[in-house]
Amino acid sequence: MGRNASCQQKQKLRKGLWSPDEDEKLLNYITKHGHGCWSAIPKLSGLQRCGKSCRLRWINYLRPDLKRGTFTQEEEDLIIELHAVLGNKWSQIAAHLPGRTDNEIKNLWNSSLKKKLRQRGIDPTTHKPISEENMSLTNTDELSPTGAYADNKCTATCSYKGTPVDMFLLDDNVPNPLSNISFPLSSHGFEVSSGFGYDNPIPSIPSVVHQDSSSESLGFPNVANTIWCDMRQDGSFFDSTPLPWLEEITTNEGDQVGIGTGIDMGIGIDAECIGQSLSLPIEMQNHRVSLFDDSKGLSMTQQLF
DNA sequence: AAGAGACTCAACCGCCAGACT
DNA sequence: TAGTCTGGCGGTTGAGTCTCT
């Protein structure tokens, strides 16, 4: 590639692993002068490397703000959450993990996280359950959700049978539907999953619901199949107002149950699914979703994006 | 102990977009 | 407008290490 001419000079440039001596030269130069123009650095610092190689070495190894060591469980969970939304946008994912590089995250994903997800029965590409039996009673294969995450703001659209529905940001005034659910009840085949963020198990959920104490996060691709619940960063719920009729929602053994500790993500409820199963009237519009239970005098409205 | 296979991770490759000429 | 340069990105590679038999 002609574009790579700068890295394939006539003069012999070193390749492969960096020696301590080279590291020192690069570190000393950048510490003194900053990196400036990367392509000029090899000459100025006395290295026989191409500028790209210097840049990579600095970003992935020499930068002083790098966090060393193995990833924490929280970091791994966050990567999975972010990957569900962003896909293989490693640099964007890395932007949410201070001190971690895109290369490091990519390696972790390819060597470890993909495998872990598969072991949990989740397709690492789609973040959907691998087994279709895990899917609930909605026609989820007709759903086509897409999502994006940037600057701590989630944007998403989700269409169902051609109708754009069902992605919401939490309105702080909207009651948290999971706050008063007792588990387990008779099964409606619902899956309760986390939204976006770190996951914590719901303490009251018995192990029969999910053998593993940690919850699985399914993220956007399963939005219409899940209930999302948001917590503040300090662990408190946005609202603990009970919605008694939601106590009728249950999970199957093996379903994933979790709570997202939000990153500006809110409640998502598969309103149609809930409405059908509970025989509740439901209204879906482009800008809000409402559930009603007139007999109990309850209603819940969520604003869409 | 040794060989094979699996795994990890640093580094390279090729492509792209934006800036510059 | 077209060509070139540069930085940045995601995919891939391969050497080194680990684990298993």
One-letter amino acid at A295 equals S
Closest among A292, A286, A303 to A159, alpha carbons compared: A286
Region A85-112: mean pLDDT is: 91
Question: Residue A249 CA to nucleotide B15 C1', Å?
Answer: 49
Question: Residue A60 CA to nucleotide B3 C1', Å?
Answer: 34
For the purposes of burial, counting CB atoms within 10 Å of the CB of A222, is it exposed (0-12), middle (13-18) or buried (19 or more)? Answer: buried
Q: How confident is the model at residue A73 (pLDDT cuts 50, 70, 90)?
A: confident
Question: Residue A82 CA to nucleotide B19 C1', Å?
Answer: 31
- DSSP state string for A66-130: PPPSPPPHHHHHHHHHHHHHH-S-HHHHHTTSTT--HHHHHHHIIIIIHHHHHHTTB-TTT-SBS
Q: How confident is the model at residue A109 (pLDDT cuts 50, 70, 90)?
A: very high
Cβ neighbour number for residue A236 with a 10 Å cutoff: 11
Q: Considering the entire predicted model, what is its pTM?
A: 0.53
Q: Which nucleotide is nearest to A16 if distance is taken from CA to C1'?
A: B11
**Counting runs of H as helices and runs of E as strands, what totals does chain A give?**
8, 9
**Positions in chain B where some atom is under 7 Å from a protein CB:** 7-17
Query: Quick one: DSSP state of residue A59?
Result: I
Enumerate domains of chain A plus CATH numbers. 13-62 (1.10.10.60), 73-119 (1.10.10.60), 132-303 (no CATH)
Express each pLDDT in A212-257 by its tens digit: 222 232 222 232 223 333 333 333 333 322 222 232 333 333 333 3
Q: Pick out residues whose CB falls under 7 Å from strand C.
A: A 2-3, 5-6, 37-39, 51-52, 55, 88-92, 102-103, 106-107, 110
Question: Residue A7 CA to nucleotide C4 C1', Å?
Answer: 15
Task: Report the nearest residue to nucleotide C6, CA vs C1'.
Answer: A39
pLDDT at A61: 92
Question: Residue A63 CA to nucleotide B21 C1', Å?
Answer: 33
